[in-house]
Structures are given as structure tokens and as C-alpha cells.
Chain A
């Protein structure tokens, strides 16, 4: 934390708050100008796309494992398979995206080269599914049986039990698991770098190429010195702050809704 802050001081001294809101990123010596906006936008957009796509997939999987087929062989096999997704190195996801997903995006005509914020978001969604699924499953399993049985005895259907008993009870836990998954999406580097196109501009749409904070740091750190190094460290600090803010918001919401 200290080294992040001290490393970021020179760039904030030079550009002030403009560093956060400027979309100019020019590393050419002599006319250096650094603004982190393209990367902030890219990071937030990819992560939001990822969490939106991840939610229906992960939540239905959790219900399948934790409620509908709870305790069956089928559920444990599915659970293991989803957990295994977490063990796949991110470069493998990147390669899959590069060779499988990207040509599909091109074939749909959504983007001419297939490198886009959306492509990166889809791969991120798959990457964060296991994080969201496994915690949500545990939380759903933890909802007390007495409550569920009481609801059934009153003649509630299964769907009514899920929506009126399980979800309200597990709400804060489920929310936490998605916050965790979102945090993962914010920080993911390698797979994103391979699919996002690495253009240091604010994307005009989700099918345009862009760049994220983690990806620009990984890409440019090796050859960076002076002000540029400081700019990259400052982006690291911003990423840290954004992750902190999102966790904070998550905590607030949990506090407000928890029973």
C-alpha cells in the first residue's frame, strides 16, 4: 500500500486529478501524457458484462446443486466440474477465447476482428462462474430445513419456496459471492490481454477494442521507467481503490438487506 502510493506520487504531481479523468495515453518520450480513463472504463465494462452473463448461469447451477438435486450423484459431479473451472490457468481461457470464441464473434458480424470488450467479458464470465457458484451453493444449502418444510406444509410449490424462503434468507451470502466474483473479474489479466485488443482508447461500444487496468500494467511494466512507471503504479493504486469501493458498496448493501 505504501509503495503503491509513494510510486504513484510523481504522476499525480504532474497531472493531478486529470490523471483519472483524462483519456489521453501517450507514452512517447517528450510528449508524455497519461490518463487512466480508458483503462478504468475498460475494466469496469468487462467486469460488468462478465457479472451480468455469469449471474444466470452461476445462479441456476447453484440451485441445481444446492436445492433441486441436492445430495445426488449428479449434483456432486456437476459441482466438481464447476469447481474444476477455477483450476484452469487463465492463459488457457485466453487461448480458448482466441481460437474458439473470437472466430464466433467475427462470424456473427459483431466485430470485424473479434477483439473486443465483449469477447473479454464473455471469457471473464466463464472464469468467475466457479467462484460465484460454489459459495452460493453452500449458502443455499445452509438455509434451515425447518423453514423450507414449514413452507411446503403450507402448500407452497418448489418455486415459491425458492423465491420466498431460500432467496430472502440467503440474500446477503449470495450477494457476497457475486461481489467476490466481481473482484476476480476486475483483476484478471492474461486472458483479457489476449482478447481485448489492447487499444489504449475509451471504447465507443462493447464491440470495440479497449484495454483494462490490469492488462496495461502487465503489458507495459517491463519497458517502463520514469513518469510512465509512476503512471502504471498509479493505475495499480486506482485498481486497488476501485476494488475497495466495490467491496465497500457490497458490504453496505449486505448490511441494509440482511435480516
Chain B
């Protein structure tokens, strides 16, 4: 085993040397960073990491194992930083071996996708959503749906609810929104990464849910916005807290973060008070230990970690986020994230100046 690690280390060393000799001004670094966690922002992280690695020569690997897995990996200290779609509650944070900080990286949303032959425009009020997902509206020609969609010919078709079968941050954001708009939902179902669904079928991952919806006439379900935008799946307009029906778009999702954000950025953006905001939006975070000197980590390792995190919240990386259909962080939030990164220390000394 020791030999194997030695050979691997040598291979990494050699390959990084090879890179640097070609690049000229690029410094040869033997630092490699590992991270693991949420799958919701995976397309963004993959693109960002690919860009970052080719520009700086730092080797970075990200494992999309799910938020729960990311938190576990950070607890076990096998990664430099983790990623999660739902912030850690104060109780959960107290269970971690040391103090951690949350860095928001981008904003995603959950969209309501549907498959109704002949219907291209669909408005859903908060009451509609509650009734559909609690299994009370069972047919598309329900009078309550007709009320919110005047002038649209709704077919006589059974409603099939499709939800995620795997635990997911997408489900968390969706259920958080549902709990905010419906006290009954909060009482009966609640919020979580996976739920006890009153009705419906489960599909695995965004592709599973999207595929099931596409194949079943009369189906409705929720999908991560980045997937829906990339696949051009028809999505419903959802009523926000100002009573407006909002189409999900990068602008309306970004608007959700315009309100007051607490200093530690630990907040759900669902039901934002902004009148133009799409109501089912949420941050996704990277998490790391506030004190970076643990388990004999070198200072270089800590510096490289912080360098990447400082890069991902800034303009260049945020532009990449938009390329893969995530809404960028507003300027105000970036400033807050910078401040949080400034509080991360190595042996008590701040790392980012």
C-alpha cells in the first residue's frame, strides 16, 4: 500500500512537472486539492475547476457525492473543502469537529416542469402548488387551475406528480418553499432532502425526473433550473410573494438574493421579498474549517485552498456559472463572502490579506 501511494505521488509529481515545463511561467506546485459534495452545482464546479486547473496548474478534484457525503467527508477530514446545498443548522455545525464557515458560490433554482400536450403557458399559484403536490388536484381540468389560467385550454387528464427518489438539495429547496407557502405542507410533509411524499412517482436525479415527466402526459414535477434550462424543458410560471407570476430566468433567480442576507450567508432564498424574484431559488455553499491548521496540513495546502475559494466567488468564475445556467452572486453577497474568507486562519493568522 505504501509503495502504491509512493508511485502515485511520483506520478502526480512527474505530470505536474511536465505541465510546468510547457507553460514556462507556471510554477510547478505539488499541491493537489480535493473536494466533495453537492451534485446540484456539479456542472458549474466541473467547468470552474477545469478552467482553474488549466490556468494555475493546481490539481483539483471534485467528487459529486451529494451534500450529505460532502459533509461526511469534511467531518472525516479527507477533503480540503466540502459542498452543500442546504446550510448546516447550528446543531449540525456544533457536531462538526471544529468551527466551519460557509462560502456561497452561486444561485440555483428549482423549476416546475410539466408535460401537457397543447399547453405552452402555465401559471401556478401557491394554492395550486399546494393542492397538486398534496394530491388534492388530481385532474388538469380542475376549476382551481382554470381560475389561475384564464383563456388556456386545460385538458381532461390525470395529474401525475413526479419527485426525486434520491436525497437531494433540489428537494430541500423545493420543500422549503412549499413549507413557506403552505402551513399544511409544513405540518404534513415538512422540509428535507428526501420526504415522505403524499402522492407521486420517484425519478432518480434530474434526468430521471425530467425523463419521466417527458414520457408521461399530464405529469408535473420539480427539476434543478440548470438542467431544465440546458434541456429547454417547458416550465411553469410561479407566483412569488408579491403575487406576481414569474418565469424562472437567470435574472429573476439572481433577484432572489437582493434582499437582506445575514453576515454568515446562511439563509434560504425561497420566497424572497423582491417583487421580481423567482420564489424557489437558493444558494449553494462550499464549506471548510475556519482553522486550516489541522491534521498536519501544510500552509501551502491551506493557501491554495483559499486561493481557489477566493477565485470562485469573483467575476471570472461567476461568468462561468452563467454559461452553465446558474445565476451569479450579486455584488453585495460577493463582498460578504470575501469577508468570510478573510476570517479563515492558519495557526491563528489570517490567510487571505
Contact = CB atoms under 8 A, between A and B. Distances in A.
Interface string B170-204: 00000000000000000001111111110011111
B322 to A, nearest CB: 27
Given A26-B196, A27-B196, A223 B190 contact: no
24 contacts: A27-B192, A27-B195, A27-B196, A112-B158, A113-B160, A113-B216, A113-B219, A115-B201, A193-B204, A194-B204, A197-B201, A198-B202, A198-B203, A198-B204, A199-B197, A199-B202, A211-B165, A211-B202, A219-B167, A222-B39, A222-B166, A223-B68, A223-B194, A224-B68
Contacts of A199: 197, 200-202
Interface in B195-240: 195-197, 200-204, 208, 211-212, 215-216, 219
Interface of A: 24-31, 98-99, 102-103, 112-115, 193-194, 197-200, 209, 211, 215, 219-220, 222-225, 229
B67 A223 contact: yes
A224 B192 CA distance: 11
Contact of A28 (B69, B191, B208): B191
B266 interface: no
Contacts of B69: 222-223
B204 A209 contact: no
Interface string B301-321: 000000000000000000000
4 smallest A-B Cβ distances: which pairs? Answer: A223-B167, A198-B202, A222-B66, A198-B165
B125 interface: no
A194 B208 contact: yes
Contacts, number: 88
A25 B39 CA distance: 24
Contacts of A215: 165
A204 to B, nearest CB: 14
Contacts of A112: 158, 160
B72 interface: yes
A98 B200 CA distance: 17
Interface string B56-67: 000000000111
B123 interface: no
A218 B168 CA distance: 13
Nearest to A198: B202
